[in-house]
Amino acid sequence: MTTRRHFLAGAASTGLLACGAGAAGAGRAPTLTAVAHRIQLVPEGNPTTEVWSYDAALPGPVIRLARGATLRRELLNALEVPTTVHWHGIRLPNAMDGVPGISQPAVAPGDRFLYDFTVPDPGTYWYHPHVRSWEQVARGLSGALVVEEEAPPEIDREEVLLLDDWRLGPDAQIEESFDSLHDRAHAGRIGNWITVNGRGEWTLSAGRNARLRLRLVNAATARIFSLGVQGMAGWVVALDGHALEVPQPLERLVLAPAQRADLIVDVIGPDAAEAGGEASAFLVSHERDGAFALVSVAIEGEARAERRGPPTPLEPGTVPPLGPLAEARRARLVMEGGAMGGLGSAMLGDEELALRELASRGKVWAFNGQSGVPEAPLLEARQGETVRVAIANRTRWPHAMHLHGHHFREIAEAGAAPGPLRDTLLVRPMAETEIAFVADNPGDWLFHCHMLAHAVGGMQSWIRVVS
């Protein structure tokens, strides 16, 4: 801590606090500081935990903007390692995407970088580092980004709920097994302590028949949540930021790493008085050993006489509609490797390596026979072209595929209507599917598994959109 404090003081005195490029005129951008600190992550009476976070808050501050507004934040890196910020799901200019080696250099300890872009679409997004993300996100660097609709739905209360999964040792410290080859080859870094907004359980109170909007973010690096409600009923109204054309009645909701869902739910359980003063409405996570509460709602205070009617669809964003699929440019992504995957060999750079050799270099997965970011893009599209990418998961593991800079639709079943707009798609083990999108955002964009141990273990590719 001492060195870190000295370090910050040093940074101030050497002029590193000067405004970044583009800051002139519009006033200084607020700082977003990546920093290590200690918090009470596990219940009181246990040790505090050293985490990394933004602005020494866990999760990082909710950044809330109006649709079409400009997001300006100057990242100050107060960590002892390089970092960046990736604004997950926002369709932004390539230079603001936060990917070292593709869109910007990593921000060195003590340095700053100005992020400055407009947010075109309403919805629930999030931000996290893109440097050693499998470690930096797992240490706590994440926060929600909310872009408000011009005409938001009628609700009584909104909650942003960032779900996370921590792997803690018996001393309540984060286990430093980030580079575990076992995790890379299996389900990723699954933790042993789940939090909602940094707490073991999130509690609130609401009147009977109150309508809540829950903005869920899965910030875990590997855990797939299977969510449900008790004492509440409602709809999924948006996925990965974007409005569903028709709100879907909420039953079981699968939320893969990096995915978001907006729920509109009415609180309908028994009153706190009837429930003996206890909470009686819940958002629950279904785990192997049962369902347990992530959010508990005590139903008390002023009640509404009855429930509201079903919500109308949320305001749509500005993603262009798909062009004719038959004429679309096509690419194919074959996923191989992982435990029980039978991968014999793959290219790493321009060397063909047997699995044992790959594993000794931390690689256990391949896309189209190539492990790690390939030299050439998976596809190159002209700006505005509609593109289809067929995905074949020839592994025993689910993968949460994330495309930067764009939203796509799943077009798995021929003849069926395309799926909802998404930026992260859960591809089941051994499944074959296909996505389609309009390549309308020029630049080089990563396409990778958001099980972040899988990404570093080889599951990364990229696309190029040329204007």
Chain positions contacting ligand C2O, by CB under 6 A? 86, 88, 128, 130, 258, 402, 404, 446, 448, 450
The reply on whether position 189 binds Cu ion by CB under 5 A is no
The reply on whether position 167 binds Cu ion by CB under 5 A is no
Of 435, 343, 441, which is closest to residue 387 (Cα–Cα)? 435
For ligand C2O, give the closer residue by CB, 178 or 282. 178
For ligand C2O, give the closer residue by CB, 133 or 280. 133
- The interface region with Cu ion, picked from 26-34, 133-141, 275-283, 454-462 by CB under 5 A, is 454-462
β-pairing, 351-354 vs 379-382, is unpaired
* Rounded least distance, CB 263 to ligand C2O, Å: 21
* Residue 214 interacts with which of ligand C2O, Cu ion, none, CB < 5 to 8 Å by class: none
Supply φ then ψ for residue 164, to 5 degrees.
-145, 165
User: Both tokens of residue 87?
Assistant: 């604004």
Of 72, 91, 64, 73, which is closest to residue 34 (Cα–Cα)? 73
CA distance 98 to 313: 32
CA distance 220 to 225: 9
* Rounded least distance, CB 447 to ligand C2O, Å: 9
User: Both tokens of residue 154?
Assistant: 């009628």
* Rounded least distance, CB 242 to ligand C2O, Å: 16
Residues 362-401 that bind Cu ion (CB under 5 A): 399
* Rounded least distance, CB 347 to ligand C2O, Å: 22
* Rounded least distance, CB 137 to ligand C2O, Å: 8
For ligand C2O, give the closer residue by CB, 128 or 215. 128
State the residue number with the nearest CB to ligand C2O. 88
For ligand C2O, give the closer residue by CB, 223 or 450. 450
The reply on whether position 454 binds Cu ion by CB under 5 A is yes
CA distance 370 to 347: 5
Among 11, 451, 452, 465, binds Cu ion (CB under 5 A): 451
User: Both tokens of residue 391?
Assistant: 């995905």
CA distance 244 to 124: 13
**Following DSSP, what letter does each residue of 227-260 receive, concatenated?**
EEEESEEEEEEEETTEEEEEEEE-S-EEE-TT-E
Of 95, 214, 128, which is closest to residue 450 (Cα–Cα)? 128
For Cu ion, give the closer residue by CB, 163 or 455. 455
The reply on whether position 422 binds Cu ion by CB under 5 A is no
* Rounded least distance, CB 56 to Cu ion, Å: 31
* Residue 258 interacts with which of Cu ion, ligand C2O, none, CB < 5 to 8 Å by class: ligand C2O
Q: What proportions of the chain, in percent to the nearest 5, are helix, strand and coil?
A: 10, 45, 50
* Rounded least distance, CB 127 to ligand C2O, Å: 9
The DSSP call for residue 441 is: S
107, exposed or middle or buried, with CB in 10 Å at 0-12, 13-18, 19+? Answer: buried
For ligand C2O, give the closer residue by CB, 197 or 461. 461
For ligand C2O, give the closer residue by CB, 283 or 452. 452
The answer to whether the bond into 59 is cis (omega within 30° of 0) is yes
β-pairing, 370-371 vs 345-348, is parallel
* Residue 388 interacts with which of Cu ion, ligand C2O, none, CB < 5 to 8 Å by class: none
Interaction site with Cu ion (CB under 5 A): 399, 449, 451, 454
